[in-house]
Amino acid sequence: MKQSKAVESVRRLKPSIIGIYSMFSMFKLAVELAKALRPECELLVAGGPLPTLNPKAFLDYFDLVIKGEGEQTFLEVAKSFSENKGYSSVRGLYHRNCGEITYNGDREFFENLDAIPFPARELFPNEEYIRYWHRKHMLAKTSIITTRGCPFNCDFCSNAIFGVSYRERTADNVVDEIEEALKLGYESIFFVDDCFTLNKVRVLKICDEILERGLDFEWECLSRVDGISVGLAKKMKQAGCRRIFFGIESGNDGILKIIGKGFTIEQARTTVENVVSAGIDAGAFFIVGYPGETDQTILDTIDFSTSLPLEYLSYTLPYPIPGTGLYEKVKDKLTSEDWVRSKYGFTDHSLIYKSQFSSTKLKLAIVKGSAEFKIKKLFGRTSWIVYKPFKKITDYIFKHLV
């Protein structure tokens, strides 16, 4: 239904060139959409993390594949197309030449991110988006990215597009885009940077600029637990920050070292408690079943995560994205090259490699942790009446499940 709606929209626009973005979890969807849109255009272009890592798979369905940052490359592709010049001189581009895959060489990263125009949000169906959020009784939200790259090297994380580079936009430039989004009717901003708080001085400048302009909106961001001080959290709260998400990933220090997070569980606890004390909601992401885990380390993660004063908690299975350390660990054990959302069972997660744990056992861990979190939130101080027997029974089942 969604695909047919997209195809109808494209037919009305009658474009000559169509670009489709894809990441690890989107390969089949991207290919299906490309097949549906092939008759509607003259040139199909793929871009994003997965095409960057595996261009050959996409060149079976697309004419061109853009590697890495795509703004300048796509602009040159459009110019070459309009002038009928061919694409051999466009850097950052994979294409077929006489049946052979050709790569035109890397393109340098953008250094001045302020020079990149803001997204053309005026072309979006903003009223539909805003109605969607309001139907869910929530503030209308849009996303903004203010930095590119991450200097850290977590074992499971793919940095296909930006590498280990780190570049940032200035505070004035960021707040200019915020104002533009607010004028379109949005009421909330999600900063989707890998780590919005990496440069604390810049974050303080953004907060000051928001306050000086008198902008009234809520916002949320992603951060590391070693990236926020009490003072910074209080300033962020003053400037409208409602929620901070942390990728903590494990409740066991040994597994944190395997993952390469570079902090301890006590650091994580202290930061979450400090953020909450500043009046900001905290959310956290955890992985269960990482290579090297035992039954006890998984239970450690559940116990630790449910002991934190979180407003949001999410568990996931390890997903081996090509190019990551995790992928290298399990690439000989893959049972599928593509993640597909599970249609059945009690979670929508899929285990795509042969793990030391069964898929059923890991999904039970996710359900167990989620249930314990909800019990504590629902019953508050009296939660122990339900929580303790539930934990005891499910710990036993988990340990004895194959």
C-alpha closest to that of 156 among 249, 226, 80, 73? 249
Report if pTM > 0.85. Answer: yes
- Rounded to 10 degrees, the C-alpha dihedral 151/172/214/220 comes to -20
Question: Is 60 part of any domain?
Answer: yes
Question: Is 228 part of any domain?
Answer: no
Q: What is the CATH number of the domain that holds 365?
A: 3.30.750.200
Between CA 347 and CA 208 the distance in angstroms is 42
Q: What is the CATH number of the domain that holds 196?
A: 3.30.750
Cβ contact 149:167 at 8 Å: yes
- Does residue 87 sit in the same domain as residue 120? no
- Does residue 91 sit in the same domain as residue 44? yes
- Does residue 292 sit in the same domain as residue 387? yes
Query: pLDDT (tens digit, 0 to 9) for every residue of the chain, 402 residues total?
Result: 567 888 898 999 999 999 999 998 889 999 999 999 999 999 999 999 999 999 999 999 999 999 999 999 999 999 999 999 999 999 999 999 888 999 999 999 989 999 999 999 999 999 999 999 999 999 999 999 999 999 999 999 988 788 778 999 999 999 999 999 999 999 999 999 999 999 999 999 999 999 999 999 999 999 999 989 999 999 999 999 999 999 999 999 999 999 999 999 999 999 999 999 999 999 999 999 999 999 999 999 999 999 999 999 999 999 999 889 999 999 999 998 776 665 555 566 789 999 999 999 999 999 999 999 999 999 998 999 999 999 999 999 999 998
Q: Where are the strands (E) in 185-279, listed by range? A: 188-191, 218-223, 241-249
- Does residue 123 sit in the same domain as residue 173? yes
For residue 206, give its domain range. Answer: 111-223
> What distances in angstroms separate CA 26 from CA 57, 94, 194, 372, one per listed residue?
13, 20, 20, 31
Between CA 81 and CA 394 the distance in angstroms is 60
- Does residue 53 sit in the same domain as residue 84? yes
Tokens of 98: 């006489």
Secondary element (H or E) of residue 325: helix 325-330
Question: Is 334 part of any domain?
Answer: yes
- Does residue 268 sit in the same domain as residue 400? yes
* Residue 324, Cβ density class (10 Å: 0-12 exposed, 13-18 middle, ≥19 buried): buried
Residue that is last in its domain, among 68, 86, 103: 103
Cβ contact 274:233 at 8 Å: yes
388 contact partners, CB below 8 Å, separation of at least 6: none
Question: Is 80 part of any domain?
Answer: yes
Question: Is 277 part of any domain?
Answer: yes
DSSP string, 37-68: HGGG-SEEEEESHHHHH-HHHHHTT-SEEE-S
Residue that is last in its domain, among 103, 122, 138: 103
386 contact partners, CB below 8 Å, separation of at least 6: 375, 379
Q: What is the CATH number of the domain that holds 92?
A: 3.40.50.280
For the chain, the domain total comes to 3
Cβ contact 353:298 at 8 Å: no
Residue that is last in its domain, among 74, 103, 132: 103
Question: Is 238 part of any domain?
Answer: no
